[in-house]
Amino acid sequence: MVKPKIYIAGHRGMAGSAIIRVLKNKGFNNIITRSHKQLDLLNQSKVLSFFNKEKPSQVYIAAAKVGGIYSNSMYPAQFIYENLMIQANIINSAFENNVKKILFLGSSCIYPKYAAQPMQENVLLTGLLEPSNEPYAIAKIAGIKLCESYNRQYGKSHNVDYRSVMPTNLYGPGDNYHPNNSHVIPGLIRRFHEAKIKKKKNVTIWGSGKPLREFLHVDDMARASVFVMNLNKKKYQNSTNQMCSQINIGSGDEITIKQLAIMIKEIIGFKGRIIFDKSKPDGSPRKLMNNDLINNLGWKPKIGLKDGLKMVYSNFKKSYEKF
């Protein structure tokens, strides 16, 4: 069997680099990547030229502009514009160059703010989104619908098979530890670590600490992504709907932000107090994915949250000076 030529968009990010690790472990070595300096994914003509030259047979779209509540609130125009452009440029250029298989990575924030929990795939577009990340979520929904629309129009005539997965909140190697633009786990790890080494008495956390969140180690997400990409086509089509084709990827476990903060505090060994700033937004009250579909297809996560956090903190300490 000839191994496919695979392009990973966003290979330097947490998700993209994890997908590469999993692919290589499975013997897929014909992998192509481009840094932002080598290929600006916002530039339509350059993306098309790249596909014209390289002719990959599979594409994983892990490239995106991402951030937490702060950055989503501060830069809404950039979040919607850049993500729409990245997705549209890659998907159409891939189609123009006869790429048959694409896996698009979305996010759990695509689902309505008050969706019934745990959130099934079919609740998409049934209610209002969380306002703080609505621009990002709308871009990700558009990415799903791009894949579905190309399948509906060109699935039979061109044999295209474009799929989407929706990971829950991810953490792991390659995460962003920026003081303002990070997600909750890397943000808490950095804050507690710095408070420990500076011998601070308190660590302040945005919000009430009450929202519930689900977390998944990025290596589990990568295993799930490769699993879905290589799932038998008939099995995939029989398990999804052509206008609701995304598959959730989650751990199935949830924890309050307060419980998470206490767990990270204990792993790091910070002895001070935790203060919750209730004047800051909480975001969605609860975000738990229904993972029945992917579990029934044969995938389950391997890394528990506490073990995953211990591994992440161990790696963070070794690289702290770089952040």
Question: What is the secondary structure of 246-302 as a DSSP string?
Answer: -EEE--S--EEHHHHHHHHHHHHT--SEEEEETTS----SEE-B--HHHHHHT----
Whether 171 is a known active-site residue: answer: no
What sign has the CA pseudo-torsion 54, 60, 61, 66? Answer: negative
State phi, psi for 160 to the nearest 5 degrees.
-80, 150
The active-site residue out of 111, 136, 150, 313 is 136
Q: What is the pLDDT of residue 320?
A: 75
Q: Which of 12, 137, 46 is nearest to 83 (CA)?
A: 137
- Cβ 83 vs Cβ 65: under 8 Å: yes
Mean pLDDT, 10 residues at a time, over the chain (323 residues)? 90 96 96 97 98 98 84 88 98 98 96 93 96 93 98 98 96 83 87 95 94 96 98 96 97 96 97 95 85 98 97 89 59
- CATH fold, domain 6-322, is Rossmann fold (3.40.50)
Q: Take residue 253 and report the two structure tokens written for it.
A: 């476990």
Q: What is the pLDDT of residue 71?
A: 78
Q: What is the pLDDT of residue 321?
A: 63
Q: Which of 10, 73, 47, 22 is nearest to 218 (CA)?
A: 22
